[in-house]
Structure 1
Amino acid sequence: MNTSEFNSFIVILIYGSLVFLSLLKLANPLKVNRKANFCFGIFLFLWSTFWMDEILLMINGSAIEFHSLFVIRFIQYLTPIFFYLSVLFYTNPSFRFKIGDFRFLLLPIAFLACLVLIRMGYNKPFESLSIILILVQALFYTGLSYITIRKHQRKIQQFSSNTEGIDLNWLEYIILVLLVVNIVYVIYNLFYDPKSLNFFINTVFLLVIYFVGYYSLKQKEIYPLEEKQRNELISINEDSESEEVKKKLMTDEELLKIKTQLEKIMDTQKPYLNSELNLIKLAELLSVSTHHLSYVINTGFGKNFFQYVNEFRVEYAQQLLKETGSKLSILGIAYESGFNSKTSFNTTFKKLTGQTPSEFKK
């Protein structure tokens, strides 16, 4: 099998994988992240259409300019928007569109106007403008998606003690890989024949698609399904130095009282040993609201919830590691200390102590 035939085989795998994965996301058999998975399914289907020219060429034996069709060009232009919408609903399943959000339609309307003018015969100026609009749209929504994910990663540390599995790292990696691939492709286009790069680009895309499939299908619910609890957590600001935290939610006496109660509970009941501990569960133990508890941790201890809880876990793990007669493995100690994986244990432990658990034990 030569390079051309192998490239055709990869194209078939790419197209088939994207269509199949999009149908899985739209069907959503596990019924999780409903809005996010619906938008992500549409994104995957739109993404698959970029390989339709090559698929039709293999079927018919002659070139069919599917990619240049008026309707297809406009639909494909919406691909970055649906990626951003999926990120938006993953990070905030209670999101509702407002009148101000219609500003996001400005670029698609401008692109549609370009396509109409091109169809009317004004090819030269508006073909170039349409390419610019494609690049602007892709960069804008890629950047916006990345910023949204980074904000989400800070926010979940305000209410979750184990962020692995809900931090959306896989979406962040997709953005970075696609950005690098597109930069390489554009630079290569300027100096060399872009067709010679097809095999490399398609191989990278195929690997990215399998990566997407694996992590998107195992993505669990990030927020509680119960609407009141979900909205309560979403309303907590991701920045512990935000105006909400700076604004006094209680008197100094109340803060000190809850702070003392919290220290006592952490010392006696050790709730941090529960790997599923979150702000809601800890607030219930103290009989206070999640906002008040978040305020006490942020203001009274100068930490977010994730940092506060995991410092206790690391301290507990250090005690277990010091026990010479202990038969527990590193993984066993991780689970005993409240961590839900060896990776999160190693990462958190090293961040707080400057050593890995194995180095500390030695």
Structure 2
Amino acid sequence: MYFLNFLVSTTCFFLLLFAVHLFFAKKGNKTNNILLSLLFFARFGQILTSLIITSNQQQALSILFQFFTPLYFAAPACLYLYVTGFLTDRKGLHKNDWLHFIPGLLAIIHVIPWPGTEVLNWQIIAKQLAENGYLSLFAKSGLFPSYFHNLGRTILILVYLFLCWRAISKSKIRTQTSTENPGKDWIFFLLGVATLFQLMGMLPIILRTFSIPFYHSSFISLNCIVLLGILSYAIHKPKMFYGYLLVAIDWDKKTVATPVLLDQEIASTQPTITPKKSFPSLKKNNLSPELLLQYTNLIKRIMEDEQIYLKQDLQIIDLATKLNIPVHHCSYVLNNEIGKNFRDWINSYRIEYFLKQYPILGGKITIEAVAQESGFKNLATFYNAFKKEKGVLPTDYFARNNS
């Protein structure tokens, strides 16, 4: 019993830690963070309720069961919305996405102790949960018939797992490498773990079908051991652990310890970069003048409207993927129609963004912080790009304009 309590306590601590951290995390995709936090909180509630069942605390069971049941019904939808949001980089939920939470709303109606309804027998509920698990509860647990809980949750789990894997199979991430899309390892890891635990939740049903003895405490221990083992694996994958479970570090942003120097000192310490001449693409293309004009307008529009140049690790393949055009066509348009290579072109947008933001933010944060907000990785890169674009360093530029 002591070992079981230790396992459950440790597992609950980590699940609650991730849930609370992700819910209030300011970095990353806010919507996805909240969806993932709800998944962790649902798993936390399930393990905690299982511990209450083994402890025969019926009063606590009634409170926890009714509190977490709506979240159990919403969890499959949260997983699906997280996966699709991750694949499409969605920043919020669309109107239709909220329809996925109808089962959770029905579960709230189900657990509310409505006046005139029969009193629930928590002793029988606790006994059935302990003997057969969550998906095998045949006792009445709320307003709706018993099959709402056991059959309803089972169908939700299977349907949404299918939808998640279908979304993965239809997305481009399946054919991409981990270098092209660093999030590939994480989304496959998360969905694989979620599938494992959801199918493990159906293990009691399978064991009961074949008349194999089922011990609830052993099942809880197995769940906790597997979860802690998976967590140990994630800890050894820093980009997973700190990049998605604990959203604290931007791994694509390289931090460089740079001493505080004046513009002239920085310029003197950096080698003079001779601008490379942009040569027209020698690769043959079959683009008509109309299509060239269309591509040019699309490229400029997405840069000006969505400001994707603020992303520090932006590559030409990201731009081409977003526009759904070949990379070599994108490069040809930049070199021949716009007249700049990709790096100089996005840096020109970053410089203009910096010039608009610095007069507003310059008195509150450092010039390096404004430069990083503008899309530059470090101060040296910013100064080189600024001098290449404007011909002078920022101090000289502002002094000349002020005079």
What's the TM-score bracket when you normalise by the shorter of the two chains?
0.5 to 0.7
Q: Residue 27 of structure 1 aligns to which amino acid in structure 2?
A: F
Q: Residue 2 of structure 2 aligns to which amino acid in structure 1?
A: E
Aligned to 1:348: none
Q: Residue 180 of structure 2 aligns to which amino acid in structure 1?
A: N
1:81 aligns with 2:92: no
Deviations 1:187-237 (A, max 9, x none): 12442223243322331233234456762533488999xxxxxxxxxxxxx
Conserved? CA contact 2:53–2:61, under 8 Å: no
Aligned to 1:7: 4
Identity %: 12
SS of 1:84's equivalent?
helix
Q: Classify 1:278/1:216 alpha carbon distance in 2 versus 1 (closer, same or farther; 3 Å).
A: farther
Deviations 1:157-214 (A, max 9, x none): 49x9623444522123213322442343431244222324332233123323445676
1:172 aligns with 2:191: yes
Aligned to 2:25: 28
Residue 15 of structure 1, CA deviation: 0.5
Aligned to 1:131: 150
Q: RMSD of the TM alignment (CA)? A: 4.3
TM-score by length of 2: 0.49
Higher helix share: 1
Q: May I ask how many residue pairs the two structures share in their alignment?
A: 243
TM-score by length of 1: 0.53
1:181 aligns with 2:177: no
Indicate which of 81, 85, 90 corresponds to 1:94: 90
Equivalent residues in 2 for 1:127-276, closer than 5 Å: 127-154=146-173, 157=176, 162-167=180-185, 168-190=187-209, 191=211, 192-195=213-216, 196-211=218-233, 215-219=240-244, 253-254=286-287
Conserved? CA contact 1:25–1:37, under 8 Å: yes
When Rg is computed on C-alpha atoms for both structures, the one with the higher figure is 2
Conserved? CA contact 1:166–1:221, under 8 Å: no
Deviations 1:271-293 (A, max 9, x none): xxxx9855146x6xxxx994332
Deviations 1:36-63 (A, max 9, x none): 12221222122201122355579x8845
Q: Classify 1:194/1:165 alpha carbon distance in 2 versus 1 (closer, same or farther; 3 Å).
A: same
Tell which deviates more after alignment, 68-77 or 6-15: 68-77
Aligned to 1:19: 16
Residue 99 of structure 1, CA deviation: 3.9
Alpha-carbon distance between aligned partners in 2 of 1:111 and 1:6, rounded to the nearest angstrom: 34
Aligned to 1:43: 39
Q: Which has the higher contact order (CA 8 A, sep 6+)?
A: 1
Q: Classify 1:199/1:82 alpha carbon distance in 2 versus 1 (closer, same or farther; 3 Å).
A: same
Conserved? CA contact 2:161–2:195, under 8 Å: no
